[in-house]
Amino acid sequence: MRLLYSSSPFSGISPLCIWPWSWTAAAAPAPKKMVAITRREEEVTAKSEEDKSDLGRPPPFRIGDVRAAIPSHCWVKDPWRSMSYVLRDVVVIAALAVAAGYLDSWIVWLIYWLAQGTMFWAVFVLGHDCGHGSFSDNVWLNNAVGHLLHSSILVPYHGWRISHRTHHQNHGNVEKDESWLPLTEKTYKQMNPTGRKMRFTLPYHLFAFPVYLLWRSPGKEGSHFLPSSSLFHPNEEHDVIVSTVCWSSMMALLLCLSWVYGPVPVLKLYGVPYAIFIMWLDLVTYLHHHGHSEKLPWYRGKEWSYLRGGLTTLDRDYGWINSIHHDIGTHVVHHLFPQIPHYNLVEATQAAKPVLGKYYREPEKSGPLPLHLFGILLRSLRVDHFVSDEGDVVYYQSDPQLYGDWQHKSK
């Protein structure tokens, strides 16, 4: 339809051709130039489908090739620089809290909640570096800073660190991945209709993290707080206990502050920013593994490899937020090489892109604020529902009955 009226070479065509009931007019023989353009578009579409198929196959390079392309200084961990980011975030968080309490108006509180929730998310990212060991080469320093940062935002540091390590080691594996694991078709069909719709309707995906910490992903058992959980090896029980104690201490502190000063001030200063932080965490982690315009492959058995699984993750652009949350959008190289400090990921990504070629999916550029991501999220929730029970290379499939006619109109 676009070819019939949007380009000047076809300005002589009757406007009736654009209306759905004008099939006679629209069926008139197309000019030769239009036929040529149509054929070229068909060839482009066919090439796109071929490329999509290729992206589910083993890449023509090895992970060592990607590693070799990244400058050696990108791997260097500078604890002083890492600590400077911690100091920056702590100062900003304190300044925001003081300003909001002093000015004390609803407009200020609204701005404070959004800004402080984003800063809580930035703190999580620094604790995330500690968990990967990319904060410094000193394990003690990583764990000490990681506990302080993550406990302050009610995340059990070691419990999360261990499960996140499992995610990195098995990303893209239908059977072994840890977070945002796809439902198999059999599991999906066993869910009741209400459960299905809730799972793929907001705000479920924006508040999933606390549920995941308590009860893990659907289809998996265990808790990030219990050393007896199947998430952990016996030699990790002590670490889990320490993290749970730190988490409980922070929770006790919040309850004491609520008792002394009242629940409303604590809710305003901490509770609402915490909710914003959770929304950030779930939005970012979900969209780093979902929502591409083309379907992303998931693997089973011998088809899975660390490299192929890592290549199915996505970079995202967050506009002004990129530097605030420590360039977490550079996710592909981070998944392949989590040892690289966050402040070197942008350079490492630029160096790796020529090797990755078409296996690197360029992120959509953001405006000052990444509002475009909400549209991507909504589209993904409409189409990424389950994967087949069979096959070693599978893609998300859609349930056409989940949203009824509304889903069909949105495609």
User: What pairing do the DSSP bridges indicate for beta strands 393-395 and 297-299?
Assistant: antiparallel
394 versus 3: the higher-pLDDT residue is: 394
Between the CA of residue 12 and those of 7, 20, 31, what are the distances in Å? 10, 19, 11
Q: Please measure the distance between the N-terminal and C-terminal CA atoms of the chain and give it in whole angstroms.
A: 16
Q: Which of 250, 223, 227, 79 is nearest to 148 (CA)?
A: 250
Judged by average pLDDT, the poorest of 55-69, 214-228, 313-327, 371-385 is 214-228
From residue 138, how far is each of 81, 130, 144, 155, 336 by CA, in Å?
14, 10, 10, 21, 22
Domain ranges (residues) in the chain: 63-397
Tell me the chain's radius of gyration from C-alpha atoms.
Answer: 24
Number of H helices, E strands in the chain: 20, 2
What is the C-alpha separation between 407 and 398, in angstroms, rounded? 10
Question: Do residues 410 and 382 lie in contact, with contact meaning Cβ atoms separated by under 8 Å?
Answer: yes
pLDDT score, position 235: 93
The first and second tokens of residue 272, run together, are 């609402």
What's the rounded mean pLDDT across residues 306-325? 94
Compare 250 and 206 and report the one with higher pLDDT: 250
pLDDT tens, residue by residue, 245-301 = 999 999 999 999 999 999 999 999 999 999 999 999 999 999 999 988 888 899 999
Rounded distance, CA 264 to CA 222, Å?
Answer: 33
Q: What angle do CA 360, 363, 364 make, to 5 degrees?
A: 150
Q: Which amino acid, residue 146? A: G
- Tokens representing 406 are 């509304």
Quote the pTM value.
0.84
Give per-residue pLDDT as tens, 351-395: 999 999 999 999 999 999 999 999 999 999 989 999 999 999 999
